[in-house]
Structure 1
Amino acid sequence: MKKSFLKVKLEKESFDNLNQKNSLVGLGFDVHRFTKRRKKLVLGGWEIDYPWGLEAVSDGDVVLHAICDAILGGAGLGDIGDYFPPNKKKLQGMSSKNIVNLVLKKIKGKLEIVNIDVTVILDRLRLFPYKRKIVTSLRKIFKIERINFKIKSREKLELLGGKDAIACLAVVLLKQVC
């Protein structure tokens, strides 16, 4: 089967300058319960018009939290709880973009993000209409194009808090900057 020019070009760009010695992979996870006490839902840095928010110390952006945990994990720098403990009152309602800024400062000059792959798991809300806006927001925040965003349901199973919660998994490929 003949590959398209675009696919071959993307594959070549993806793996140029990558090898086992300078590549690192991180896995991140976050989950939050929905609440009516918060009237704002933020996912991937994008505010969604929805009557329920997420129970959290910060704005509860599970997408940014999972990505930050993946970056920190790949870099061997712990997780966001090490830098932003949940018992600190000054973090109340803080934008998760502040967490991203700290994480990016930690790796600046040492590591670059090659790609980000995100899976959001929820049943309460149909996210598909917001998918492009969330991906655009993530590309702007992380300053990379190679971002994949998937939406999955629990198939009516009571996994990860059932319909009352939202969960996110993120995998990040990092490369060492020479």
Structure 2
Amino acid sequence: MKNIILLCTMAVLALSACQQSPVRYTQDSPEIDTVKKLISNYNSKSFDTSMYADTSKIYYNTNKNALSASETMEYHKQTDANYASRGFQNENQEFEMVVTDDGETWVNCWLDWKGTLAANNKAVDIPVHLTYQFVDGKIVREHGYWDPSEIVMELQKIEAEAKMAEEEMKPME
């Protein structure tokens, strides 16, 4: 009888030890699929806000002055005027979903972005890190980090050259 009780106890312990705990890290989830769809929409210039919660906050290279989802789409439309082409590259994309110790669900991605400036056809490659917080399947917070220096300097150079050309065209006084 003691052996049966001992055997049953060991079986219960073994089964309870094998039970799956909640997934805290994965590279395959509905949230990752949502982010991949968002990236695809960006590349195709389909400015859809349905993946975002109504109260979402988006921060690009800052922790202040959050944008709403619709303001973010407008931002993308405005900056598109600078590019003959632009988008995230299909190679070297990395996605992960983590659930923090506080129970927050975040998707992180590391991507390569390439754009060609419309004014001079200069190609620019920039590594980008994006992270998205999800609640109930919707993005409630987004942070994007990249170094825009090369683009800023090139746009300033284009503007300076345009001003110089304009000055040269003015009649002599």
- Name the TM-score, length of structure 1 as normaliser: 0.28
Kindly name which structure, 1 or 2, has the bigger radius of gyration based on alpha carbons.
2
- Name the TM-score, length of structure 2 as normaliser: 0.28
Query: Whose RCO is larger (CA < 8 A, sep 6+)?
Result: 1
More strand by share: 2
